[in-house]
Structure 1
Amino acid sequence: MADWFLAQEPIIRVGILLSVLAIMATWEILGPRRPLSVGKAYRWSNNWGVVITGTLLTRFLFPAGLVGLGLFVETQGWGLLQMLDLPFWLVVLIAVVVLDFAIWAQHVMFHAVPSLWRLHRMHHADLDFDVTTGLRFHPLEIVLSFGIKAMVVVAIGAPALAVLIFEVILSSLALFNHSNVRMPAAVDRVLRWFIVTPDFHRVHHSWYPHETNSNFGFNLSLWDRIMGTYRAQPQDGHDGMTIGLNQFRDPAWERLDRMLVQPFVGPADSYPINRRPETEGDSREEVTRRRR
């Protein structure tokens, strides 16, 4: 069964991605959480341009992909999990959980190091928050992220099936928790104890730095609770919060060519962790007056 899944990896990944995308996009139409500030056609065409660019670059540099690396690691017997006498299902489970924590830690690192923040801030510069935001990452960040995940796969000896499961969960939940959907509060309260919900992650896309530097999780919500980076609700409420950064507020920056050059434009000292002196109670006007 595992061999069949691996053989069908491209079909499985693309099929699930498109299915989740269709479901969340439909949900956004039927039950939106917030009105959008920029035309959807304009944002979506450019956000998808970033996705395609990053995908092509990654496939060119790493044609075998992360699952292929997992298969190679498995056949070579590399990594800690390959040395332990554990049931295969437990090895897969441990590998998925460890990879999820690695992504959480990587996310924090991209917020903490100014040079890495320059790459990651394109994701945060989106003036709206919807399903395409979950795929909008600078191509150079995608390449770096692949390298980090590859090192983890080799170090822990993650089998190919675990890598495939993790990649599918990561892409699916990234689409889910970036979606502009309205969910019953009672359902959200229960779900966020286990996974990252849209209201959970939307706080991370607030333009207040103390909120941007919280709720880093993509899949499991426990990492933010354990590490003390969890913030339940945004300061201005979900309906009143401002999405994005205090930079790149002009919708012209949503254009593909301008998104690709954002890492090389303007200062990088506004949002990285421990680089900004504002307090939680700062008003919008106080944030606006700061350097852009």
Structure 2
Amino acid sequence: MLEDTLLTQEPLIRAAFFFGILGIMILWERLSPSRRLSVSKPLRWGSNLGLVVLNTVLLRAVFPLAAVGFAAIAAEQGWGLFNVLELPGWLVILLSVMTLDLVVYLHHVMFHALPTLWRLHKVHHADRDFDVTTGLRFHPIEIFLSMGMKIVAIALLGAPPVAVLIFEILLNATAMFNHGNVSLPRPLDRLLRWVVVTPDMHRIHHSVIPQETNSNYGFNLPWWDYLFGTYRARAAKGNQGMTIGLTEYQNTLRVAQLPWMLLLPFGRQADDTTLSSRPKVG
């Protein structure tokens, strides 16, 4: 059965897409970087990618079946909306991918809005540079909470395993793409922003200016930012003029050290860039 094949081949399928997209983005950044990096690349990359390895090992230990495996269980048990409704298979897959992307958007907003969750998410935003490895830089506890959130959403939706696998691959691939230290020609960027979050769009989200940090939350689909009024077309100081990261960590190289990243949520740090500082839209 397709579900059995997905369960057995999922790690291989995801690894192939992960390393393929990562390699493409690294090459693109090397050939045509958008911004000059301010921190030593070996130090940042060693720490950011080291965090990826740590998260992968811990996630597999805590959630051995992960999202796709849980989707297979949900299908067998008949859990969730799409296991009750009689809809065409292609439509179930499409609606599942879109709904899970909306859940990730809302999850991202929540991690900015709540101080306790923001302390975890600051590990991602504290990076003083913005490149493909930034899209992989998340605290292990945030990764666990994100997986738990996705499992709950899958159970409620009844999203089929193939839809969950497509969603996970798209989310991972677009996160690396839109965190890339690259730029697209402006006409192409404007066109793509209708269907996918672009690097120039998401880079604004990593600005030190709170109103910009609290905008452009989408990782994959840009529609939720348009719909909920969190879209920002451009940074106040432009792509080259904006400062990346968080204000309180601009004068330290600790942000590029793995032990510091792991301990950051448990220190006495300022929480001055939460959602409450975002101006009302409209």
Common fold: TM-score over 0.5: yes
**Contact 1:114–1:269 under 8 Å retained in 2:** yes
Gaps of 5+ in 1: 280-292
Structure 1 residue aligned with 2:132: 131
Compared with structure 1, are the counterparts of its residues 170 and 160 closer, same or farther at alpha carbon in structure 2 (3 Å cutoff)?
Answer: same
Deviation of the 1:268 alpha carbon:
4.0
Conservation of the 8 A alpha-carbon contact between 2:119 and 2:271:
no
Greater shift in the superposed pair: 214-223 or 259-268: 259-268
Q: Indicate the residue corresponding to 1:106 in structure 2.
A: 107
* Aligned amino acid, residue 147 of structure 1: G
How far apart are 1:253 and its partner, in Å?
A: 2.6
Q: Is the 8 A contact 1:117 1:268 kept in 2?
A: no
Please report how far the alpha carbon of residue 60 of structure 1 lies from its aligned counterpart in structure 2 after TM superposition: 0.7
1:31 aligns with 32
137-146 or 243-252, which deviates more: 243-252
- The answer on whether the counterparts of 2:93 and 2:163 sit within 8 Å (CA) in structure 1 is yes
1:287 matched residue in structure 2? none
Over 3 Å counting, the alpha-carbon distance change for 1:277 and 1:59 in structure 2 is: closer
Moved over 2 A (4+): 1-7, 266-269, 276-279
- Give, in whole Å, the separation in 2 of the partners of 1:245 and 1:33: 20
CA 1:254–1:79 in structure 2 vs 1: closer, same or farther (change >3 Å)?
same
2:234 aligned counterpart, secondary structure: coil
Of 46-55 and 170-179, the range deviating more from structure 2: 46-55
**Deviation by residue 1:195-236 (Cα, 9 ceiling, x = unmatched):** 000001000000000000000000100100000000000111
The answer for the alignment partner of 2:223 in structure 1 is: 222
Q: Which runs of 5+ in 2 are unaligned?
A: none
SS in structure 2 of the partner of residue 129 of structure 1: coil
Aligned-pair Cα RMSD in Å: 1.6
Is the 8 Å Cα contact of residues 128 and 255 (structure 2) preserved in structure 1? no
Please report the TM-score for the alignment, with normalisation by the length of structure 1.
0.92
Hey, what does 2:89 align to over in structure 1?
88
- Displacement after TM superposition at 1:35 (Å): 0.3
Partners of 1:37 and 1:128 within 8 A in 2: yes
2:220 counterpart SS class? coil
* Residue 5 (structure 1) shift: 4.2
- Check conservation: 1:50, 1:137, Cα contact below 8 A: yes
Question: CA shift at 1:248, angstroms?
Answer: 2.3
Conservation of the 8 A alpha-carbon contact between 2:124 and 2:139: yes
Aligned length in residues: 279
Question: In 1, distance between residues paired with 2:245 and 2:145?
Answer: 23
Q: Residues of 2 paired with 1:88 and 1:6: CA distance?
A: 19
Alpha-carbon spacing, 1:103–1:278, altered in 2? closer, same or farther (3 Å)? closer
Distance 1:251 1:245 in 2: 13
Give yes or no for contact 2:204–2:234 (8 Å, CA) kept in 1.
yes
Q: Is the 8 A contact 1:111 1:273 kept in 2?
A: yes
Give the Cα–Cα distance (whole angstroms) in 2 for the partners of residues 42 and 16 of structure 1.
25
TM-score by length of 2: 0.96
Look up the match of 1:288. none
Q: Give yes or no for contact 1:66–1:163 (8 Å, CA) kept in 2.
A: yes
Query: Taking structure 1 as reference, are residues 94 and 134 closer, same or farther at Cα in structure 2, changes over 3 Å only?
Result: same
- Structure 2 SS opposite 1:8: helix
| Secondary structure class of the residue paired with 2:59 | helix
The offset of 1:277, in angstroms, is 8.4
